[in-house]
A and B are shown apart, each in its own frame.
Chain A
Amino acid sequence: MKRILSGNEAIARGVWEAGVRVAAAYPGTPSTEILEELSLAPGVYCEWSTNEKVAVDVAAGAAMAGRRALATMKHVGVNVAADSLFYTSYTGAEAGLVIVSADDPAMHSSQNEQDNRRYAAFMRIPCLDPSDSQECKDFAVAAFELSERFDTPVMLRTTTRINHSSTPVELGERTEIEPERKKFPRDSAKYVMVPANARARHPVVEERLRRITDWADSCPLNRIEWRDRQLGIITAGVAYQYAREVFPQASVLKLGLVHPLPATLIRELAAGVERLIVLEELDPVIEEGVRLMGIACEGKSIFPLMGELDPTVVRAVAAHAGLPVDHAPVAVPAVPKPALPARPPVLCPGCSHRGVFQLLNKKKVAVSGDIGCYTLAFLPPLSALHFCGCMGASIAVAHGAAQSGLQERMVAVIGDSTFYHTGLPALANVAYNKANILTIILDNRTTAMTGHQANPGTGQTLQRQATDAIPLEPLVWALGIRHVATVDSYDLASTARALKELMATNEPAVMIARHACALLPEMRKQYVPLDVMEEKCTGCGICFRIGCPAILKADEVDAKSGKPLALIDRDLCTGCEICAQLCPHDAITFRDQVRMREEGGGEACTLPTLGRS
């Protein structure tokens, strides 16, 4: 019986079938669902670690202890984890250790494009690159076998299009492996990487890579599909699917193992075809390898270096290069189209970050941002975020700018999960070196951007176990920061007051702006949609400038100004009251007014403005 699984579901299934015992990750698109799925399966300890480096250390510890272990992350998570990954290449382990790197060509949800097959080569470890969900599952199993056979960590590298595509998968059974080891190994020559030991391990690593290279030619994950000899294609990952789609007649060397490369198979294909091309997404990794063997081929001279491939792109550039394609590029008729309004992702209705950014925008301060939903506050109309680099960078970038002698007090904003990820050492640095900045921790009680995962502040683990939430206030206090305020980020007046006070000092300060994400299930139960009182609205437009998707322009206009009145979409409004607090004409109802009206307790529009209690 086949089931349709996403690549991520299939990887989870594969590592489970392989008898994995420990799995760790930090959420990151497109990798997140692997651990979410695996955490529901019996017999596996799964955790959200505080960051990717920690996740790799956790998996490495379990593998050294003799249990098959997994760490998963998005491509840029590998940057965070790289320090740990490099030592695992030298130490190896006592049981299989597999790292999933989910790359994001086209940067659907990322700050940069990078091809992590490069990391595998850099670290001298094997890299598997599946082409559909069945291979995701099969390669996950194979990765553990390969890891143990050669005593090496193995990278299972995917791309967004593999992680988030779904294809039929034949399921297997779990191989339960009873761990023999009761104690951590005492093998300092292998596991204590001081210079003397590491020098002895490096030749072992190089020799291991040579043995894997020899094996690559007989690796069952690599195969030549002989068809017409006019064109030969070396390809891997999702690009294999585009090769089969666009060049159905071509002979193909389909690589499952993309590092190291199988020299004999490559030579065999090259010798058997008239024209040899390499079709791969992002970097010319295979192409460079083929050229190093002294074999002529074409690759990036035809296909794009950046972004995702797709059949349309591949067919167009291939036809242009005179390659035999399945059919001419489809002529898309000229469509008469007006300029279309963009539909960018936005802060949701009821987003607990909106009020803070409205105030920051009003104060015109420079804001160093971080990775999370709140990054969207850089967009108009809030336009209140002026830097975003990578996870945890907000605080130290503001710190560096401040220490350089800026004439303005900078603000760093960082979400709760991102703060625990890599913000914490940066804030310790602020406290230690006394930077003149305000750090705002936007604590919405969850890891919202990636789909509401638990984190060290939520009091719950990935596998739904209750745990102690790490409280931010005593943590910040313990660092030695003495200007600390906690506010309800739905309460604009208090937030503004705290912001004013904390901006007035010249010392490190922290504001914890707390309100749970409006999309959390317990918050969804508390929605009270608000209304605009038409007779009070003047169409002044102040509520349009907070970028709330629930506030629309009405067809009705104000008699005096001729400007459109505000209208609240009751299906979208959660009743956060940010707009109601900002409205200078008291034209938007507060929740209490809505409730009183619904209970028949009087005419809402005749009540004085209630404000927040």
Chain B
Amino acid sequence: MDRATNFVLVGVGGQGTLLASNILADIGLAAGLDVKKSEVHGMSQRGGSVVSHVRWHPEAVHSPLVGLGEADILLSFEKLEALRFVEFLKVGGTAVVNETAIVPITVSAGTGVYPRDGELDAALAAVSAHVVKVPGERLAQEAGNVKAANVVLLGAVSRLLPLPEHVWLQCLEQRVPKKFLELNRTAFASGRAVVGA
């Protein structure tokens, strides 16, 4: 692995973006790269939008933040958030989008409208043709627990990077509780399968 890679992970507080960004940072370090990861805690955890940045570089990562238009991979845990943060995606980069809608309170309160799938597709298409949609919750449910959707998404991301699968599985093993390991392995494999062989 000899190339720099920028990830921006977006979603809604409580979706497990933190575990995913931790695993991505571990993977980078395990691959012998310099790594930085950044996120903001606090208010954003009360159901607000959350953003994590993870950067890998063969020599040195300086800024912990990814600039606009500089994310090689935009990993979105929720459709609206993919649209909200689409400007981070590099032209020609890859968007991995979980096909889940979490309707914000402003929509039930009548002050906003949840965007249509077509609007999301059009926005992503304006930046890149590489879009991977993942039915994260459905695959996680099939693996045994809907909460493993974050690991399904990581499985999808793993196919986009030139690193052997065992590196991912080792890091996963270190981060998830033993009793959920098999479930998470299944979830990871199903995410990998989405991107194809």
Chain A interface (Cβ < 8 Å from any Cβ of B) = 2, 4, 29-30, 108-109, 132, 160-161, 164-168, 238, 241-242, 244-245, 310-312, 315, 330-348, 373, 376, 380-381, 449-451, 544, 547, 549, 551-553, 571
Contact = CB atoms under 8 A, between A and B. Distances in A.
Query: Max chain A CB contacts within 10 Å: which of B26, B41, B68, B111?
Result: B41
Looking at A245, A339, A347, A450, the one whose CB has the most chain B CB atoms below 10 A away is A245
Contacts of A339: 112-113
B167 interface: no
B43 A345 contact: yes
B49 A343 contact: yes
Contacts of B75: none
Contacts of B25: 4, 166
A344 B106 contact: yes
Contact of B62 (A241, A330, A381): A241
A109 B43 CA distance: 6
Contacts of B26: 4
Nearest to A107: B43
A346 B45 CA distance: 9
Nearest to B126: A335
5 contacts: A241-B62, A336-B126, A343-B80, A344-B48, A345-B44
B42 A245 contact: no
Contacts of A381: 109
A345 B22 CA distance: 23
Nearest to A160: B40
B62 A245 contact: yes
Given A345-B47, A381-B109, A29 B64 contact: no
Contacts of A549: 47, 105
B123 A335 contact: yes
Given A4-B29, A241-B64, A348-B46, A343 B106 contact: yes
Interface string B78-108: 0011011011001100000000000111111
B115 interface: yes
Nearest to A450: B42
Contacts of A373: 46
B63 A241 contact: yes
A342 B112 contact: yes
B73 interface: no
Contacts of A330: 67-70, 90
Contact of A168 (B35, B62, B126): B35
A343 B47 contact: yes
A161 B41 CA distance: 10
Nearest to A166: B37
Contacts, number: 169
Of the listed residues A336, A341, A450, the one surrounded by the most CB atoms of chain B closer than 10 A to its CB is A341
Contacts of A344: 48, 104-106
A167 B55 CA distance: 10
B35 to A, nearest CB: 6
B42 A109 contact: yes
B72 to A, nearest CB: 13
B105 A332 contact: no
B114 interface: yes
A347 B126 contact: no
Contact of B41 (A30, A311, A337): A30
A547 B105 contact: yes
Interface string B117-131: 001001100110000
Contact of A167 (B64, B66, B103, B146): B64
Q: Which interface class (under 10, 10 to 19, 20 to 34, 35 or more) fits B?
A: 35 or more
A380 B62 contact: no
A167 to B, nearest CB: 5
Contacts of A242: 62-63
B106 A166 contact: no
Given A341-B111, A544-B108, A552-B103, A332 B87 contact: yes
Contacts of B13: 345
Given A165-B38, A166-B37, A332-B69, A342 B62 contact: no
Contacts of B81: 343
B46 A345 contact: yes
Given A109-B43, A160-B40, A346-B105, A168 B65 contact: no
B157 to A, nearest CB: 18
A345 B106 CA distance: 11
Contacts of B48: 343-346
B41 A29 contact: yes
A310 B63 contact: yes
Contacts of B192: none
A164 B91 contact: no
A312 B91 CA distance: 16
Contacts of A241: 62-64
Given A340-B83, A344-B106, A549-B47, A333 B115 contact: no
**Max chain B Cβ within 10 angstroms of own Cβ: one of A4, A347, A451:** A4
B33 to A, nearest CB: 10
Contacts of B43: 29, 108-109, 345, 449
Contact of A335 (B38, B64, B105, B127): B127
B60 to A, nearest CB: 8
B173 interface: no
Contacts of A244: 60, 62-63
Nearest to A131: B62
Nearest to A566: B108
Contacts of A312: 67-68
Contacts of B45: 345, 451
A238 B37 CA distance: 13
A544 B126 contact: no
A109 B126 CA distance: 34
Interface string B1-26: 00000000000110000000010011
A109 B104 CA distance: 20
A357 to B, nearest CB: 14
A294 to B, nearest CB: 32
A347 B43 CA distance: 10
